[in-house]
Amino acid sequence: MKLFFLSSLLILCTQFAGAQPAIGELAPDISLNDINGNTIKLSDLRGKIVLVDFWASWCMPCRRSNRELRPVYDKYKNKGFEIYGISLDENPADWKKAMQSDRIKWKQVIEKGGWDASTALAWKIEALPSSFLLDKQGRVLAVNPSRLQIEKYLKTAAR
C-alpha cells in the first residue's frame, strides 16, 4: 500500500512539474539573439505589459496572428506595450523572410532547435502559436489571449 501511494504521488508530481507558466506566476526569463545578433532579455522589458509570442514561419495560424497583432502593437507600443516574439524556426533565413513578409516591427528573437530548443522546453511549448501576456512585473496575466483580450488588458492598464 505504501509503495502504491508513493508511486501515485510521484506520477502526480511529475505531471504538474512540467506545466506551462500559469496565471499569476513569474514568467521564466529568456535571453536570446535578435536578427542583428544582439541579446534581448525578457526581464529587461519589465515595466511594460509584454506579449511573449512563440511562433514559426511555417505555422500559418502564427502568420495570421502576426498580421492581427500588428495594429494592436502600432496602437499601444508607445503606451507601455511590447511584443517579444520567439521563433522556433530551424532556418534563420526562413525566419527573416517571414518577418519581412509579415512586416513585424516588434522585438524578435530566434533559438534554433525547434521544439527541443531550451526556451521551448522551459516554457513547455507544445503547439504554435503559443502566447503569454505578462504584467509590468513579469507575471502571467493570460495564456493564449485573443486579440480582444490583449486590448482589454491594455485599455485597463492605460487608465
Q: What is the per-residue pLDDT across 2-57, written as a single tens digit (0 to 9) for each?
A: 443 334 333 333 333 457 888 999 999 999 999 999 999 999 999 999 999 999 99
- In this predicted structure, the answer to whether residue 146 has a pLDDT above a threshold of 70 is yes
CB 62 within 8 A of CB 129: yes
Q: Give the C-alpha separation, 24 to 29, whole Å.
A: 15
User: What pLDDT shows up at residue 69?
Assistant: 97
pLDDT of residue 16: 38
**Stronger pLDDT, 112 or 26, i.e. the higher one:** 26
Report the mean per-residue pLDDT for the chain.
88
- Domain formed by 21-158, architecture: 3-Layer(aba) Sandwich (3.40)
Q: Is 33 exposed, middle or buried (0-12, 13-18, 19+ CB in 10 A)?
A: middle
What pLDDT score does 48 carry? Answer: 97
**Residue bearing the bigger pLDDT, 88 or 5:** 88
The C-alpha atoms of residue 20 and residue 27 are separated, in whole angstroms, by: 9
Residue 42 and residue 31 in contact, taking contact as beta carbons nearer than 8 Å: yes
Average pLDDT over residues 151-157: 90
Q: What is the domain partition of the chain in residue ranges?
A: 21-158
Of 13-27, 74-88, 142-156, where does mean pLDDT reach its minimum?
13-27
**Residue percentage of the chain with pLDDT more than 70:** 88
Contact 54, 27 (CB under 8 A): no
**Nearest by Cα to 102 from 112, 113, 87:** 87
Give the mean pLDDT of 112-141.
94
Distance (Å) of CA 115 to CA 107, 121, 127, 128: 21, 7, 9, 10
150, 152, 154, 155 alpha-carbon torsion, rounded to 10°: 160
79 or 8, which is more confident?
79
